[in-house]
Amino acid sequence: MPRIAAALAAGLVIGSIAAVQAKLPAAPPKSDADKSAEAAKAAAAKAKDAELLNKYSDKAVANYKKNKGIAEPKADPAAMSGKKK
């Protein structure tokens, strides 16, 4: 059992040293066409998000008004009978 633990620990140490030493190459610089395409894609996504936000906000307001919020005031039965409170 101690041999397995020692081998595992040595493997972890060697692996971590190798991972630290390994470096990824730098990403190539973006061209102007890539930058403009990325900006157009981001603008389209932002517009779609704004449209969906407005749609679902309107839906939530309609649901609130329908179920709980702004409703016609109900007539008080005491006021209808002519009795004073």
Compute mean pLDDT per 10 residues along the chain, 85 residues long, and list them: 82 76 83 94 98 96 83 61 56
The residues spanned by each domain of the chain are 32-66
Angstrom distance (rounded) from CA 49 to CA 75: 43
- Tell me the backbone φ, ψ of residue 76, rounded to 5 degrees: -80, 125
Concatenating the DSSP letter of every residue in the chain gives: -HHHHHHHHHHHHHHHHHHHH--PPPPPPPPHHHHHHHHHHHHHHHHHHHHHHHHHHHHHHHHHHHHTSS-PPPPPHHHHTT---
User: Which pLDDT belongs to residue 7?
Assistant: 83
- Give me the pLDDT at residue 2, please: 78
pLDDT given for residue 72 in this prediction: 61
